[in-house]
Amino acid sequence: MTDQPHKSVVFDRAATFYDQTRGFPPGIDQQAADLMARLGGLTHSSVVAEIGVGTGRLALPLARHSGPYLGFDLSADMMSVLRQKHAVFGAPDIRLARADVTQLPLRSNVLDAAVLVHILHLVSDPERAASELRRTVKPAGVAIVGWNRSYEHGLEAISDAWEAATGEQWRRWRKGEDNRDTSAVVLEQNGWTETASGVLEFTTTLTPRAKLERYRGRVFSSMWRMDDAAWQAGVAAVEAVVAAQYTDLDQPFEVSHAFHVVVLRP
């Protein structure tokens, strides 16, 4: 993981656990891809590039809707996991390259669609990224932006303890609030216009033990940027509230998810 001031965040350290903490439940990944393809008007002749393709949680099902699917990421380790899954999944044409969204190895006006899911908040220069996307996406093309917001029913005390100890506030989805993703905001601020939107809602479960281990394992990128003392203070606060309020650490609690999709034109 590269985490220096003014540098884009690289997810090498997350390659082995990323799918366990951010992946979709079985079948939901295809539903999310279907929604993105429908709203974005993808066809089997569409040239698509996903920025921050990662382990392919969306690339693998979404590539079934497109023509050539280009995946760009800064993490070779994440793309290595994608290649392993691709060999089993049997998806269509996916081509991978290590590249930054602020300098894509593409000709101008070549893409029918750019896919961005939870990415521009991790980029060193979002404004330059928006400019590069405008250069590479065709005038009649689109950006398909996706983001997930979740609400953990019954586990709020754990998140509250973390935020109180660290000041690190995570935007948590509640019914009727989409908490617009950074990628959509940045593109809109740079002249892109929303043309379509949709939401896929689903539920999962999470136990207090599993949530605690996410803090202990420092699995989320916002934790990588924190100094060790702040992270340790946060973990101690979470451990204390778990011990005080949850007698059964393996009791499953419901998590409500809303996967938002917005389509924008340059």
Handedness of CA 10, 15, 19, 20 (dihedral sign): negative
The CATH class of the 12-152+172-205+256-265 domain is: alpha beta
* pLDDT at 5 exceeding the cut of 80: no
Q: Mean pLDDT, to the nearest integer, of 19-35?
A: 80
Other beta carbons within 10 Å of 261: 22
Q: Tell me if 75 sits within 8 A of 104, measured CB to CB.
A: no
Q: What is the pLDDT of residues 144-182, one digit of tens each?
A: 999 988 899 999 999 999 989 998 765 454 444 557 888
Q: Where are the domains of the chain?
A: 12-152+172-205+256-265
Q: What is the pLDDT of residues 200-228, one digit of tens each?
A: 999 999 999 999 998 998 877 677 778 89
Among 94, 80, 83, 103, residue whose Cα is nearest residue 8: 103
| Average pLDDT, rounded, for the chain | 85
The residue among 218 and 133 whose pLDDT is bigger is: 133
- Which of 70-79, 96-105, 188-197, 208-217 shows the lowest per-residue confidence on average (mean pLDDT)? 70-79
Cα separation, 44 vs 63, whole angstroms: 9
How much is the pLDDT for 131? 95
In this prediction, what percent of the chain has a pLDDT beyond 70?
85
How much is the pLDDT for 175? 43
* Residues 6+ away with beta carbon under 8 Å from 230: 166, 167, 168
Q: Tell me if 161 sits within 8 A of 241, measured CB to CB.
A: yes
How do beta strands 69-73 and 94-98 pair?
parallel
Cα 3–171–201 angle (5° rounding)?
Answer: 115
Return the residue matching tokens 């999944």.
Answer: 89
How much is the pLDDT for 194? 97
| Confidence band of 16 (pLDDT split at 50, 70, 90) | very low
How much is the pLDDT for 123? 85
How much is the pLDDT for 30? 92
* pLDDT at 115 exceeding the cut of 70: yes
